[in-house]
Structure 1
């Protein structure tokens, strides 16, 4: 099968359902494959890791997006996150990231552990009250936990938290390789609503600061407006919110789906003989909630896997493929939480390494063992249905019963 056909299938319904066989077909071409004059696809772990850590491979920032995407400036769904650290290169990226990192610190995240445990226990109590009726794990637990945690951290009032999952689902469609016109319009509406929400919240926190991340970011930005503009503040708050639960919700769903298929692994997690951190690492490797990311060559003379990459050539990093590179992970198609073969690339690497990685790990390692211990009879209640996404991989529904075995 030629590369054009493989890429076409990867971007279509077949790839969204199960991209892994297509990744292997691309890998057979080499760890970096030239798909056309302007794009290289990377399946190799070392090659992807090198690109992530090389500053000369940048992200498609607003200036470049305006150059390559004709209607970029016409759609707030595209431009909102363009003012965040997600889509900025040096020096703007470092300027904004250092400010955010100064308040979103590892210490602040570590101090959340009791709150995460309490949130997990509260949700498990609610599940128990549901009885033996089937429920959707994603709606009832997987997304509610990280939404609650990130909103508590940011300082979003509890009565507003129901707003954000549908808005995030609409906005993150712009991160996909292909997007339909209807999806783009929905993303525009979601971006406008999120920007307005955070404009209102930051105004309230300026007038009446609280002990939360929004207040801390507002105070830090106001102390030196040259470090973070009002537009950048809103964009980064929207990013922190969405990234704080979208990928973690999918991580929890992907993990439970695998545990339901592997009762032996679930039993080890339940009885404490399996390290939850090892399980989470293997879920991230085996079925990553983030399957790909992209970079663009910002300089001449760059290479990937020995292949020349001219300036302004795009590089599509297939993280889901890199995480199954047999040169890095022996027997990569086997789900094995006991492996100790290296870190997956699911949180990225280099300057754009995910700021929320520690929080996502904390939530998953707390929630999954507690869930299985509370409900040892947890079982499927019907077929799980995948979302129609390639970049952000997860389930649309994951029906379960709490006492099915």
Structure 2
């Protein structure tokens, strides 16, 4: 199988369900291989790591998308995402990211630990009530979604009564991040983009009139003070992105992590007994079954290369993050789940200018959640077959039934 065939197989239902054999096939071809005239498939850790940080590579920003994607002008969802820092290159990316980082600070995230701990224990008690009669509890709905969405909404200033609506909307919107999407999926994404934009436009207006101690108020103030640094449309796009990034990947991290602990009871016992550090578990879940499997970069100049493969201007580098996280050249026994690994440094949060702003928050939530979950429920066990979401880029579970009694 050559690089082009691997890309084609990754887009099939079977490839999305279990992409890891295809990642291994890509690595057997080489850490970076040609997969088309203007496409390079990158599966090696070093190649992904360097490309994420290389100044000559960038993302498909609005200008590039309008030039190369004939569907871009027809879909409001694509345009919304492209106005955020996720799909902007220098100098716009640095301009917007510096403003967001100025309010989404490490100190503010660290100060959330007591609130995260309280939220974890409240959700665990609710899970105990739901499963007290022996009924299965869907971990994804009852905990893995509700914890991070509650935390990011608290940061943003989203009222509690509004938070229930976001899981379906963001699921629809994030289909635009996948390699392929049907017209029906894109239509649903457009509707979700409209609803989320409208919601945050209304919330921003309320915070402009009556500021509170939250991120929406802070960003509205920054945008109003200097319109040249953050336009109104950019403000809305980045508020939507902060919501999505604040819980989408963390939900998958928690679900993937619990499923792996069920598959590896010795690791589960180690976490419960305190022999395995929560940070080590989090790193290994990120490495072994990354919530973000794939990203891409585009060569913005001639004369570039990934490894030994030339990448002329306009060449897309498909960065198989999940494959790089299992690169045998970087990790001994890469297909073994081992939360005691040292110096893991998975690439799941990206790297370079686009390194995930919420990485510290996701790690905090996981570090609090897993030990508390296993301590509260000593007999926690699967209670049925889990169901994966039919996604490649954002890998996680739709449902994960558990018994808590």
TM superposition score normalised by structure 1: 0.98
In the alignment, structure 1 residue 198 sits paired with structure 2 residue 200: yes
In the alignment, structure 1 residue 99 sits paired with structure 2 residue 99: yes
* Aligned-residue RMSD, C-alpha: 0.8
**Cα distance, 1:6 vs structure 2:** 2.3
1:112 aligned residue: 112
**Cα distance, 1:341 vs structure 2:** 4.0
Does the 8 A contact of 1:31 with 1:43 survive in 2? yes
**Separation of aligned partners in 2, 1:78 and 1:241:** 16
**Separation of aligned partners in 1, 2:98 and 2:7:** 37
**Separation of aligned partners in 2, 1:209 and 1:80:** 25
Does the 8 A contact of 1:288 with 1:346 survive in 2? yes
Does the 8 A contact of 1:303 with 1:309 survive in 2? yes
**Separation of aligned partners in 1, 2:360 and 2:4:** 38
Does the 8 A contact of 2:2 with 2:29 survive in 1? no
Does the 8 A contact of 2:2 with 2:35 survive in 1? no
**Separation of aligned partners in 2, 1:126 and 1:384:** 21
In the alignment, structure 1 residue 90 sits paired with structure 2 residue 129: no
1:36 aligned residue: 36
2:24 aligned residue: 24
**Cα distance, 1:197 vs structure 2:** 0.4
2:393 aligned residue: 391
2:290 aligned residue: 288
1:48 aligned residue: 48
Q: Aligned to 1:190, what secondary structure does the other structure show?
A: helix
1:337 is matched with which residue: 332, 339, 343?
339
Does the 8 A contact of 1:113 with 1:362 survive in 2? yes
Alignment deviations for residues 235-258 of structure 1 (CA, whole Å, 9 cap, x no partner): 000000011000000000000000
Q: Aligned to 1:346, what secondary structure does the other structure show?
A: coil
**Separation of aligned partners in 2, 1:6 and 1:213:** 42
Does the 8 A contact of 1:386 with 1:395 survive in 2? yes
TM superposition score normalised by structure 2: 0.98
**Separation of aligned partners in 2, 1:363 and 1:157:** 20
Give the number of aligned pairs. 403
2:164 is matched with which residue: 162, 165, 171?
162
1:326 aligned residue: 328
The 5-angstrom pairing of residues 137-216 of structure 1 reads 137-216=139-218
**Separation of aligned partners in 2, 1:326 and 1:366:** 31
**Separation of aligned partners in 1, 2:165 and 2:69:** 30
Does the 8 A contact of 2:284 with 2:344 survive in 1? no
Alignment deviations for residues 277-297 of structure 1 (CA, whole Å, 9 cap, x no partner): 000000000000000001000
Judge which range, 214-223 or 238-247, deviates more: 214-223
**Cα distance, 1:385 vs structure 2:** 1.2
**Separation of aligned partners in 1, 2:224 and 2:56:** 31
**Separation of aligned partners in 2, 1:380 and 1:17:** 20
2:136 aligned residue: 134
Judge which range, 218-227 or 352-361, deviates more: 218-227
**Separation of aligned partners in 1, 2:16 and 2:55:** 30
The 1:2/1:303 distance shift into structure 2, 3 A limit, reads: closer
Does the 8 A contact of 2:32 with 2:44 survive in 1? yes
**Separation of aligned partners in 1, 2:176 and 2:277:** 36
Does the 8 A contact of 2:76 with 2:194 survive in 1? yes
Does the 8 A contact of 1:328 with 1:341 survive in 2? no
Judge which range, 170-179 or 214-223, deviates more: 214-223
Alignment deviations for residues 280-325 of structure 1 (CA, whole Å, 9 cap, x no partner): 0000000000000010000111010121100010011000000000
**Cα distance, 1:7 vs structure 2:** 2.1
Q: Aligned to 1:28, what secondary structure does the other structure show?
A: helix
In the alignment, structure 1 residue 60 sits paired with structure 2 residue 51: no
**Cα distance, 1:4 vs structure 2:** 3.0
**Separation of aligned partners in 2, 1:38 and 1:213:** 40
- Unaligned runs of 5+ residues in structure 2 are none
Alignment deviations for residues 220-272 of structure 1 (CA, whole Å, 9 cap, x no partner): 12111111000000000000001100000000000000011111111111111
**Separation of aligned partners in 2, 1:9 and 1:56:** 29
Moved over 3 A (4+): none
Does the 8 A contact of 1:328 with 1:342 survive in 2? no
